[in-house]
Structures are given as C-alpha cells and as structure tokens.
Amino acid sequence: MLSMYDYLQAGETTISNLVIENYRKIGLSDEEFLFLLQLYRSQAKGDLFPDLGAISLIMGKPKESMYQLLNELVSKGCIRIDTKQNEQGQMIDTYDLLPIFQKIEGVQQKQTVQHQLQSEEESIKQLYQGFEKEFSRPLSPIELEMISQWLETDNYKPELIRLALKEAVLNQAYSLKYIDRILLAWERKNITTKEQVAEDQKRRKQTLLQKEIDEESHAQEELPKVTLHNWLNPEDSE
C-alpha cells in the first residue's frame, strides 16, 4: 500500500492547462506530448538534461524511440538544446522548453484575431440588417455600395454608423445622404465612439435649451410697459 510519505516524497508535476489544451494545435502527437511531460517532470526536479534511457524505462519504449521523439520535437521547434554555465562554472547541455510556450502563445494570438474577425463580420451583418429593418425594405445596390464605402474607405466603425442611422430615424430622415452628412459632421468634430456621440448630443441639447431661455428672457424684456390707472385713488396710478 502506498504510504503518505512515499506519496509526498514522489513530488508533483504542475503544468499549465494551456499546454494540455493546445498541444494538438501546435502539432504534437499524444506520444510526443507524454515525452514532453517526462522532460518537464525531470527539469522540475532539477535535472535540466535528463537521461533518455531513464525516460524510455518509464514510457516502456526503446531508447531509440526516445531519441526519435526528441528529434521530432526539435525539428518542430518545440525544444531547443542549449549549452549553459552552471553555478560551478561548468558548461552543461540543457533542454530549453520555452519554445513550446511561445508556440502556444502564437496559437492563442491567432485565435484572438480569428474571433475579432468573426465578431467584426457579425457586426457588419447586423448593420446591414438594421438598415433594412428601419427602411422596411431591401437596400438597393447603390445603398449597399455607399455603406460599404463608409466601412472600407472612410473607416467608420459599424457602431458609429448605427448611431447615425438612429439619429436619422429619430428625425424621420430615411436617407443615406442624410446619414452621410451626420457622419461627416462627426468626423469634423473627431467623434469616433458611442461615448463621444452621447457627449456631443448632450452639448447640443444644452445649447438649444440655453438659446430658448435667452430668447424667452429677451422677449420678456421687450414687452411694453402698461400704465395701470387706479380709478378709486388717482394718486396711486402708475
């Protein structure tokens, strides 16, 4: 029976789930991955250049198979064999496992880019659908081309175009030319985000409100003064 002492003395090998989840994506076979874990286990115990013969016994494979697996990992750019100076000043060979993590990082970056592209494609699809919903009809070829120009030539974000569409609908102006004027006005003001649009609309409302207040105040100032006559007491008349 395995004692607690033996269990604790054996130690543990901890490896990131990123390696477990992505080893296939970077081109490793199951056997290559298991061999990599053996190298990782040995290095975690302080043996930077483990004996492949010992690993062959653990894996139950000929030693020649271990060299073949090692060569495969090196050729795939997952392992480097480096020569370093140890604490005693001696030059020793080591297996550098860093490249495998760099490869996984590359896979993740590629996945992030793919997700961003998919998100952008979905956002553009929803943009066209939004126009057709608000206009209650399919878009004409000219309208499709104009929206495409906003996206590809003018580099307007789909979110910004949707906000311009919303403002046009609120003004009951179902015209791409009207929306284009809104986008140009925002471009002149360097407005590119939803937050900036909201701030600009807030400033415009405040300006209109202040204008109404000023006009009302000015109108009251221009009212003619009416003399009131007190018929009961003429001396109190204004």
Identity of the amino acid at 228: L
Rounded mean pLDDT, 212-221: 68
Task: List pLDDT tens digits, range 43-89.
Answer: 988 899 999 999 999 999 999 999 999 999 999 999 999 998 878 88
Statement to judge: residues 78 and 157 lie in one domain? no
Statement to judge: residues 97 and 173 lie in one domain? no
DSSP single-letter state for residue 227: P
Q: Which helix (H) or strand (E) holds 83?
A: strand 80-85
> How many domains in the chain?
2
Task: List pLDDT tens digits, range 132-190.
Answer: 999 999 999 999 999 999 999 999 999 999 999 999 999 999 999 999 999 999 999 99
Question: Is residue 112 a part of any domain in this protein?
Answer: no
Domain region containing 25 = 4-102
CA–CA gap between residue 76 and residue 97 (Å, rounded): 12
pTM to 2 decimal places: 0.63
Q: Which of 112, 192, 196 is nearest to 155 (CA)?
A: 192
* Interior/surface letters 200-213, b for 16+ CB within 10 angstroms, e for the rest: eeeeeeeeeeeeee
Whether the CB-CB separation of 43 and 50 falls below 8 Å is answered with yes
Statement to judge: residues 69 and 140 lie in one domain? no
